[in-house]
Amino acid sequence: MSVERSELANGLNVVSHAMPEVETVSLGIWIGAGSRSESNAEHGVAHFLEHMAFKGTARRSARDIAEEIEAVGGDLNAATSVDSTAYYARVMRNDMPLALDILSDIILSPTFDGAELARERDVILQEIAATMDSPEDIVYDLISEAAFQDQPVGRPILGTAQSVSGFERNHLGAYLGAHYHAPNMVLAAAGAVDHAVFVAEAEQRLAELSREATPRPQGAIYTGGIKRSNKPFEQTHLLLAFEAPPYRDPDYFTAQILAGALGGGMSSRLFQEVRERRGLCYSVYAFSTGLADSGMFAIHAAGAPDRADNLFSVIRDELERAAEGGFRDAEIDRVKAQLKMGLLAGLESSGARTEQLARQILVHDRVLPTAELIAEVENVRVADLQAMVERLLVSPLSLATAGPILNAAAFESVAEKFTVPASKAA
């Protein structure tokens, strides 16, 4: 595997994976700062900054940026998460310097034009309003708030209508100036890329990035809790969660495999029991997310308001059954095959590979060999999954609902069963 890594004099990590079989190149700049790096007064500024990056620089108007990349058949995009922000592009091999020049330009010299800022503020306010019409968006925001109460990591990435309405260019500039430093960034590429050429282009365009260290974000402390929205949706969306291993924890892959075994496909336990056998919902799934210092194992389902208590109860019963009886080898082998398929498929997409390279360096400060990742998956045993379920069930419950719950007393009685006796928790 032709992965190469270099470091510029200012501390910027540059990594690439040459894929001789493709004619295009995906590239991007990842910053190790997202919504969790915001102060209370900055809630939503990381996402706002990401939007404004494409709205004009000292050398290019917003229209110039769009026309230049599209003139060569390329595309640009960006994304903000809890712990990172990314700006990325995909172009044909000979247009890599142009794409890197545009990406560098929007990072180094955005103008934050007042008229553009006002227009984009309205766009983001509409984006926030749209989430209020989506029960799934609501319940996902609520579960983060419940799991990590009164912390930046538990807040909605978009911010609130109130916080976004107050942002001006100085707020965006202050966040960029504090966090967009070379040691906190990774420039990555995959596809039709020559590493030496890529590094030379980076040195030409990104050498002026600050080499100073960046502030550490507030630590994430899992608390657990309950958050509700009673908006009158047709279905009741339910999300329950527990503390899960952070992504550097030895049990991180155990949690990933457990999520697959419980709710990772049509043959998973929850899908078979909740949907196929009982018909309580259309979709049910489990997932585990990790941060540097905590994580969250969650199960999501949506069903009729008058059967929400049944849905909740069946999910709890399946967790108890897994804690008491464990799993079969065939279940675990299926999930391992799915995870390995995902890892290998990611190597066939230049975009997915670029993101993987950047995130691995931000998280682990190295590129993880695929063989090592597959070995981590293979090393998980059936007994590890049963122990993980037991570990989850002594974690404080996080519960979020969006939509009406008609049998409220019965629903609450299920929630109370998740209360951990002090002796068991100890």
Active site residues: 50
Q: Are 85 and 50 in contact (CB under 8 A)?
A: yes
**Rounded to the nearest 5 degrees, what angle is found at the Cα of 73, between the Cα atoms of 189 and 119?**
90
Q: For the sheet containing 236-243, what is the strand order?
A: 225-229, 398-402, 236-243, 295-303, 284-290
Question: Which two structure tokens, joined as six digits, stand for 270?
Answer: 């929850």
Of 55, 49, 87, nearest in space to 174 by CA: 49
Question: Which two structure tokens, joined as six digits, stand for 66?
Answer: 């769009």
Question: Which two structure tokens, joined as six digits, stand for 310?
Answer: 């049944």
Q: Are 48 and 116 in contact (CB under 8 A)?
A: no
What is the rounded CA–CA span in Å between residue 270 and residue 264?
Answer: 9
Non-local CB neighbours of 167 within 8 Å, separated by 6+ positions: 44, 45, 48, 117, 121
Non-local CB neighbours of 114 within 8 Å, separated by 6+ positions: 169
What is the rounded CA–CA span in Å between residue 411 and residue 311?
Answer: 9
Q: How much is the CA Rg of the chain, to the nearest whole Å?
A: 23
Indicate the residue type of 406. Answer: L
